[in-house]
Amino acid sequence: MNSIFNFIFHIFIFLITYNILSYINFDSKIFFFLTPTKSENNNTIKNKDILKAEGSSKPLKLTKPEIGRRTWALLHSMANTFPLNPTEEDKNMMKKFMYGLARSYPCKVCGGHLIKMLDKKGIKMENRKEFGNYICNIHNIVNKVLNKTEFDCDRAYDVWNGNYQCKM
């Protein structure tokens, strides 16, 4: 189980790094590995071009709501694949992940709010259902603050069903 959380943690770090890199000027010589390579027909999109919006010379930047939606999708998906009966190691890994997410979140205000919620409420994760409800409840706290509709937590598993059938 430890390897699954390590894998998910590394994906998270990659996503954060990708978001940070999208704000950097890639024309710099130190980013030679991200310069686009030309294919024979010049129609293939490679490396740096993926980070640009079509028709723009500026890097593609995610908005705060876009980062938020992607983060919530990740958290709900992780909750729905959390072990049915987690070990203490599983719980510790998830706790470290949640605090690591909060501390490294691109929006420092949002990350600070998440740390306060984690400290105030603790992380409920005695089993998959409890952790799924916990993630849904903190999502609804944020939705309420943002004047958004609260999500029906009974539907969370159906929306983010955790049936990813990943193969290595």
CATH 1.20.120.310 segments of the chain:
64-159
Its pTM stands at: 0.64
Q: For domain 64-159, give the CATH superfamily.
A: ERV/ALR sulfhydryl oxidase domain (1.20.120.310)
Give the list of residues 6+ apart from residue 55 with CB closer than 8 angstroms, or none. none
CA-CA distances (angstroms) from residue 17 to 10, 11, 14, 23, 67?
A: 10, 10, 5, 10, 13
11: burial class by Cβ within 10 Å (0-12, 13-18, 19+)?
exposed
CA-CA distances (angstroms) from residue 115 to 83, 122, 148?
A: 23, 10, 21
Angle 24-27-28 from CA coordinates, rounded to 5°: 80
Handedness of CA 166, 129, 3, 10 (dihedral sign): positive
pLDDT tens string 42-94:
444 444 444 455 666 666 678 888 899 999 999 999 999 999 999 999 999 99
| 138/15: higher pLDDT | 138
pLDDT band at 36 (very low <50, low <70, confident <90, very high): very low
pLDDT tens string 78-136:
999 999 999 999 999 999 999 999 999 998 999 999 999 999 989 999 999 999 999 99
